[in-house]
Structure 1
């Protein structure tokens, strides 16, 4: 395999995140120069853009994840992931496997995440192939009784989803909290 310069969807100053690297490896395997550049295709070959069932499955996964967050249920949150999935949290913790995601998220729910819900502000879905999709979402947390994003909670997450036996699940998830760079 030859190495190429890769433009990552999420910039993390000083480090390259695991999920972004997974996406970058998929991009190389798919024949792209970057995650934002479509692969060169044979003349007449169409890109896979999914179908209504695929997108409905993505919406259902997101709904389940948002409900698990609202219920503070680490096991239900982890159930949206494959057994060998990984998750990089907003603070850089790296949770490997569905069981570790369940335990780690339950710890966060019990000790750090207050009474909040998740609001998705936008998303971009890109199919790498029929069985792999990358979804980049911007989201925030809404404090109970509030209607606006909680200050400091705006984040961008990269979700790598895989379809096995007709079922879409998250293979990898990486979350980056958005922060202003200091002016130089």
Structure 2
């Protein structure tokens, strides 16, 4: 992919030179700068698409939580993913996450919805990102977070052939020190 991008950028630079968009007397630095700007624009567009994918994944999880659907919740994860719940349960594989979440929905989690309060996205590689989010649970028709429901979770996402999916998720209940 990177080789194709470099080839494409080189071809674009030549076309710009031949087409008069870059003066023939332009220095190598000027030409490199034009190539760098094109690459930066591509990267910015890639990041916008990545962030939109992260938003879709979060929305899918929020919807699955609201409908208490463990399978739909787990569908946002890779097949070999893992998840640590707020109470320390360790769920392994997409199937294990689906079963564990469904058990929690059926037995412990009241009808509620997740609300994301803030997030910080960090790309480690073009195909690997870490998102740290703060969220809370809102029950029924309430409009405010349930007391004691604030949590911070760390999501590790990987971009594969099928797009972005979570590969690991750690959820920690926020409990201020006394």
TM-score, normalisation: structure 1: 0.72
Counterpart-to-counterpart distance in 1, 2:98 and 2:71: 5
In the TM superposition, structure 1's runs of 4+ consecutive aligned residues that sit over 3 Å from their partners are none
Shift of 1:172: 0.2
1:30 alignment partner in structure 2: none
2:126 alignment partner in structure 1: 130
User: Please, which of 45, 61, 64 is the counterpart of residue 60 of structure 2?
Assistant: 64
- SS where residue 53 of structure 1 aligns? helix
Matched, 1:83 2:83: no
Shift of 1:166: 5.0
After TM superposition, the structure 1 = structure 2 runs for residues 159-178 of structure 1, keeping only pairs within 5 Å, are 159-178=155-174
Size of the aligned set, in residue pairs, is 137
Shift of 1:108: 0.3
Counterpart-to-counterpart distance in 2, 1:125 and 1:83: 23
Counterpart-to-counterpart distance in 1, 2:155 and 2:52: 16
Matched, 1:110 2:78: no
- Which structure 2 residue ranges, 5 or more long, are not aligned? 1-35
- Over aligned residues, Cα RMSD in angstroms? 1.5
Counterpart-to-counterpart distance in 1, 2:176 and 2:157: 29
TM-score, normalisation: structure 2: 0.74
- Which structure 1 residue ranges, 5 or more long, are not aligned? 1-43
Counterpart-to-counterpart distance in 2, 1:176 and 1:93: 11
1:12 alignment partner in structure 2: none
Counterpart-to-counterpart distance in 1, 2:101 and 2:144: 24
Counterpart-to-counterpart distance in 2, 1:144 and 1:60: 23
Shift of 1:51: 1.4
Q: Which has the higher contact order (CA 8 A, sep 6+)?
A: 1
- SS where residue 61 of structure 1 aligns? helix
